[in-house]
Copies of this chain bind each other. A is one copy, B any other.
């Protein structure tokens, strides 16, 4: 059994978190990942308090294992979401898209462990000072909104900067990635893309098929001009976005407007042309559909195979 200090910290069997992917990470996926021994996470996204509470209650019906909630700090309902998390005594809160320090005292008081996603050593240090239980060092290989640094360089620099546990994310979809993360000094991984194709994930079949079919070069980053670069699969929508981005006759407002509703169109409607299929560079490593349990077993077994080979170099 591959146990790290993260397992003890979060009361989970395997050191694997499921990313808080917008529209994808619902109660069904989170409960399935937690039941399989990882840490499932519900994405609060732009849900209001009542909607988030409903997802939390649904997940509690489906699992008695711990699960987390991911708070998107730019959400208009972030205050409501933060309060619901305290009331529901969610054991783990991950945060994205900003600096979570203003909520951390309340969450900690409610007994939540706070694990911010950080794109740099400086933010990791800041949240450690405010009482973060761990950090997720997420490289730009990931899907969705990304930072400037990439996993191989970011993770060791964050590990050098803080004493709390570091979870690696970005570009990790199999056991080799988990083993590599451990070598860099992390004590676990967060995976997003690989869980999109899980049997228990409610994302549209077209999304799952697109990931299974993807090659390494099939993602693209757009939105840098707007200050929030975002990685998605290449399709009509994302190629058009990239074109508009370097066309200065297109205003920033038009560019923003072009993106509205595109995530929903991808995940819920499976709109192959008009949807934004957020997805990491590791899509090319994802070859088949499995249950969450099979995915986690495959990753853990693969990591142990890779780690088992280490002795040949000693």
Contacts and interface: CB of A to CB of B under 8 A. Distances in A.
Contacts of A141: 149-150, 152-153
Q: Is the interface of A mostly helix, strand, loop or mixed?
A: helix
Q: How often does this chain occur in the complex, in copies?
A: 2
A153 B285 contact: yes
A153 B280 contact: yes
Interface residues of A, number: 55
A148 interface: yes
Contact of A179 (B122, B173, B183): B183
Interface string A184-222: 110000000000000000000000000000011100000
Contacts of A281: 149-150, 153-154
A309 B282 CA distance: 26
Nearest to A152: B171
B185 A176 contact: yes
A4 B312 CA distance: 9
A121 B311 CA distance: 28
Contacts of A176: 156, 183-185
A170 interface: yes
Contacts of A215: 121-122
A306 interface: yes
Interface of A: 2-4, 120-122, 139-141, 148-154, 156-158, 160, 170-174, 176-177, 179-185, 215-217, 225, 246, 248, 280-282, 284-285, 303-304, 306-311, 313-314
11 contacts: A150-B171, A152-B172, A153-B216, A153-B284, A156-B176, A156-B285, A160-B285, A182-B183, A182-B309, A183-B310, A304-B314
